[in-house]
Chain A
């Protein structure tokens, strides 16, 4: 089905003729067989499908999701993008993602409202300032616009911040990254979905994968004769909407990545932690940049609708439970008021949680596994959204070329048994 092109003129003509727009993506029924089945209809799964079709001409593809598209981490994150990472590898990877985000609105003909508003990571201690300097020096050498600024420049960028010296956590400076910003996360999901659909990719919602079928493998933990596990080959998936056969199955899920992977007899070293976020009622805009404070475990930005969006670090306890806690909102508010004492009368409107799959080295697991045709793009911790476009692009290449592209080569599953952990802890912006 042809996509009607989005434009101001189109809005005008349809408005004048009182015509509605066609579906963003078709309501697809699963076929009996595909070349590739992608499990998980978030940014990663949809981007993979899109780049498979657009870059490699592989269009006989289904993306299946047990709920609706974008119902997982893609719709629960705080939509911050940046590329000022700590290691040269991290910088290269995320800079490619930022590039793709930058041109996404025109590339995919849907305004994802990328707001290049600048990104500040505050330093409250001299050791944090030292780390900021380090990051800035690495970034500069990589051609990334990133520098350390003093308290007065911080104040100029974000007047609501208290930069006076006698606060509990004084702001000594910040790593300032002008190309960072925010993006409308749902729009990214819809843009990839619409674009993939236009190539004929089937997007199937409320389709839950119940099993991954394999043959020839050494067998899984529960059944040594099920053909799963090392040496095996994928033959398809069983879903609540029927069986689908496919020589390639890609796991692009979060929260349930290890459960899905078990279905192929592939163990993932992942623990799942909730990450909480919250949003306030809207007020007239006053915060022009993204502000992050590692010491105070908070990041905040203001949407164009006027809401402040807050995030924090992952909850310490591993669980699949996505209910928020009162303690989170209390700590969050306390820390935010440390930074911006003038907003005590703003009201918290809504809190929610998403699930983060953490690996031992805080890096994702990507690419081929010991089961032929079963690939993973999982373990994205707290930063999967930022990496969505580049992951999709690279995974598509990995599938099409049956090899590992250089950008994601360090992230193979085998690193956990070969002692070549990536250790890109900087990617998760933890204290170091």
Chain B
């Protein structure tokens, strides 16, 4: 039987605008449709009814449910895969192609799989391809070719996706009659309400009901608008998280491709209605087999005649109404099978090849065979309770109504509408309205409590309102026959090609709990996440096990409710890069940038070796703003420092600076830096650049959880100051030209001291005499707004002193010449404090410090040592990571190079490394394995410092 869908005459119920035609292409053919058509209705109107092929057997597939959840209607639209054809509206110029076809929809080679289907039972791949093992990769490539879905165009630009925060009193998920009534009632009671509808129009099943139904929907829409309800269509509440934190995906934003609204709702009302369940029988996936909702939507909303001669299996009002709709559309009704009388459909068969394949006959339970190109089933409903499950609820099966119902939800989540019961239009609206009023009442209590508990909020009006109890009259439950599977086997999961026979087989093999059968067969794991499939899976498993559906139970529904694009979740991808206030200077000088954690820093301006030499000879300045800085105030700061650092802090004088090492509780070096005492109860701590955030967390953790009684106030000020290091023999002279109010003489302001004063006219600058580079140097903390000014003033005043800026690379060379280790480079996740060699700083006579017991243990045993190493060949710079071996012939690792550079000051290569203790003695000859496999020799040095080991320069 050949079949062509026909566009019906225009009707008031339709949502298409026949005055506005659109043109699009479908598998290369140019087609016409109307504004308001979905891709599916547009293609049907043009006489095609096959949209793609199934995953495993490549069976041709057509419309099943004609809504967002239809498992057969996934198409590729331009560069977008897996578009729901019965949901996405068609647009001019759209290029639509079918998925899962090769080489074409009409002639599909892989359809041969259908012939061998009985051998490809669910999970067949676990039982074969084991031998020979070397062939498995080839098998795997073939299996991967059967991956379902569309194709990703890797050149897809990351479009404009937006996010928004909202704090509505009440969010209503679903705008059918109950949801609309709930939104209106909540708004009338004074609540701010957001009404979220998955579809393009509000009204739910009213849209494909009678004229009176549509009038009622229109009236409620007007009421909701007039009451200020925010109505979001083509939007989905994708997830309900802790404390009613909701993800809402808005697909029809006028600028953004999509927008993710993150809402903290005081109350959530779930009014998602019901999803019609397909019937399981042989041939239930032949094109031409549809649910009653599908034909009703197609006829009423899109003016599509879905077939010419129909058999209708009806067990409820929706099926009965479908019969009337089909008659109105001019479809011949060959037979109405009333499922309430015990009759059912046994099987269906199709005929026609390629894209003409279509239902041709239906066999009924009494054996009668009837010619038909359309079989409509109305066998029952599934409540899409995902959002309630995310709130902790497990649905409960009611055998009389043959469906699951919500169990118990938390106080801030309510359900209404078809999900919780059946009723007339007026009863559904009344239940919805009662739910809305209840939600508004509870939201008002939450609002009152929030306001009362929030410092600086306006005073609350009067006493807290009474918390409204749930006194709603429950909706009734209509009896419904339990129609899940016929006497034959058919598809249970269309998108995964899993049949009831597969499920019986899996259960017999022992995969007989709902979670195991899901994992073994992949049933319910496809794009609709079980909304169509779970209950049929459970019913078939119950049948196979001889148990009730209630005994089998359901799987756990996890977020999101509907799949959500990575673009919408990622949004605009706001990952700021941090730069100092001097960045414009660095850029203007063409400095080579380097990414260091969150920061962009100048690696070098010119030749880094020349920058080293100039700093060692004259004076250099460098931008060290990323250095972590924490302002500590309070009488108990010394206690905090003593707890966190390994050395002593109780006696640090005002103006003093001390270096410290921090350990984690396992004794591993966490961070290091210097801390200055600026005033009586005022300290400034510096951390490593990468450790700034971690140390702040670490301090707050200790203060808040272990020592809440200590009076310490911590303020991160890393970006509050611009940090400039002035280093080199001429640095004091240069400082003398720009600093006011501070005596810079070595006697008045010696090494490891701090002073506050004016630099280049900028007050409140903090100056430290410290020396990471090993030179006489001053580190200036300038209030960030004046950073560039001070930097330029230094450059201008230092011209005749030979001043030049230096970058991170020169700083690294100089610190290595000086033998200063870097936490995380020369130490690692296993390096306990003794490894640093700073044993003098490990004060074991203190009461306690974090990591002390572990450090004590470490000191009693063997631990790796950081040592300075010089390769025998002064021109050989071993890569950082080179392993040090037990001997020239050995492969046993005894250490590694952690830092290496060529030193322009010493004209040779220099290194720091970690060595096991037996190799750490000065003068030991080492075997270093270069990355290229070559082995070279090197020597352990006496001091960490390759240069100026006595520290005369920095103290000078």
Contacts and interface: CB of A to CB of B under 8 A. Distances in A.
Q: Do A and B come from one complex?
A: yes
A345 B156 contact: yes
Interface stretch (B476-484, B728-736, B874-882): B874-882
- Residue of A114, A125, A160, A285 with most partner-chain B CB within 10 A: A285
A180 interface: no
Contacts of A169: 575, 595
Contact of B143 (A7, A130, A304): A304
Nearest to A12: B119
A190 B126 contact: yes
Interface string A286-326: 10000000000000000111100000000000000001111
Interface stretch (B40-48, B559-567, B634-642, B676-684): B559-567
B126 A345 contact: no
A10 interface: yes
A130 B127 contact: no
- Residue of B118, B144, B853, B896 with most partner-chain A CB within 10 A: B144
B208 interface: no
A281 B82 contact: yes
Contacts of A235: none
Contacts of B127: 6-7, 10-11, 21, 110-111
A210 interface: no
Interface in B22-50: none
B564 A348 contact: yes
A11 B128 contact: yes
Interface in A114-135: 114-116, 124-127, 130-131, 133-134
B125 interface: yes
- Residue of A25, A341, A351 with most partner-chain B CB within 10 A: A341
Contact of B565 (A131, A160, A306, A345): A345
A280 to B, nearest CB: 7
A241 to B, nearest CB: 16
Interface stretch (A32-40, A327-335, A371-379, A400-408): A327-335
A278 to B, nearest CB: 9
Given A113-B140, A116-B137, A304-B144, A280 B566 contact: yes
Contacts of A284: 81, 147, 149-152
Contact of B147 (A205, A285, A341, A343): A285
Interface string A406-432: 000000000000011101011000111
Given A125-B596, A334-B569, A103 B133 contact: yes
Contacts of B150: 283-284
A141 B558 contact: no
B252 to A, nearest CB: 16
A349 B495 CA distance: 14
B143 A111 contact: no
Contact of B881 (A130, A304, A324): A130
B505 A69 contact: no
Given A283-B152, A329-B569, A141 B824 contact: no
Given A105-B133, A133-B880, A24 B505 contact: no
Contacts of B690: 127
Contacts of A280: 563, 566
Contacts of A286: 151-152, 154
A326 B241 contact: yes
B595 A170 contact: yes
Contacts of B247: 326, 329
Contact of A334 (B147, B571, B666): B571
Contact of A24 (B80, B144, B510): B510
A12 B119 CA distance: 6
B567 to A, nearest CB: 3
A22 B510 CA distance: 8
B702 to A, nearest CB: 16
Contact of A133 (B510, B558, B881): B881
Contact of B824 (A127, A205, A325): A127
B166 to A, nearest CB: 13
A18 B505 CA distance: 10
A108 to B, nearest CB: 9
A134 B929 CA distance: 12
Contact of A21 (B241, B509, B575, B857): B509
Interface in B102-148: 116, 118-119, 121, 124-131, 133, 136-137, 140, 143-145, 147-148
Contacts of A22: 509
Contact of A20 (B161, B508, B570, B573): B508
B563 A423 contact: no
A137 B883 contact: yes
B367 interface: no
Interface in B239-269: 239, 241-242, 245, 247, 260, 262
A42 B145 CA distance: 31
B595 A141 contact: no
A117 to B, nearest CB: 9
Nearest to A168: B575
Nearest to B828: A432
A170 to B, nearest CB: 7
Given A111-B130, A344-B156, A349 B597 contact: no
A349 B559 CA distance: 8
B853 A342 contact: no
A342 B153 CA distance: 7
Interface string B150-192: 1111111111010000000000000000000000000000000
Interface stretch (B368-376, B514-522, B605-613): B514-522
B19 to A, nearest CB: 32
A111 B125 CA distance: 7
B262 A326 contact: yes
A345 B116 CA distance: 35
B516 A11 contact: no
A337 B567 contact: yes
A344 B565 contact: yes
Nearest to B808: A126
A22 B511 CA distance: 11
B570 A15 contact: no
B529 interface: yes
- Residue of B527, B568, B665 with most partner-chain A CB within 10 A: B568
Given A11-B124, A137-B931, A346-B152, A6 B242 contact: no
B694 to A, nearest CB: 10
Nearest to A114: B136
A425 B566 contact: no
Interface in B470-503: none
Interface in B504-563: 504-505, 508-511, 513, 515-516, 519-520, 522, 525, 527, 529, 558-560, 563
Contacts of A126: 594
Contacts of A133: 879-881, 931
Nearest to B156: A342
B666 A283 contact: no
B739 to A, nearest CB: 35
B577 interface: yes
A111 B130 CA distance: 6
Nearest to B880: A130
Nearest to B577: A168
B825 interface: yes
A93 interface: no
25 contacts: A12-B119, A21-B508, A24-B510, A67-B515, A69-B516, A87-B830, A111-B130, A124-B595, A130-B825, A137-B931, A190-B126, A282-B148, A283-B147, A283-B149, A284-B150, A326-B241, A326-B559, A330-B570, A346-B565, A347-B82, A350-B560, A351-B558, A425-B829, A430-B829, A432-B828
Interface of B: 79-82, 116, 118-119, 121, 124-131, 133, 136-137, 140, 143-145, 147-159, 161, 239, 241-242, 245, 247, 260, 262, 390, 504-505, 508-511, 513, 515-516, 519-520, 522, 525, 527, 529, 558-560, 563-571, 573-575, 577, 594-597, 665-666, 668, 690, 824-825, 828-830, 853-854, 856-858, 879-883, 891, 893, 896, 929, 931
Q: Which 9 A-B pairs have the closest CB atoms?
A: A419-B857, A306-B147, A432-B829, A133-B881, A344-B567, A333-B569, A347-B563, A425-B829, A15-B119
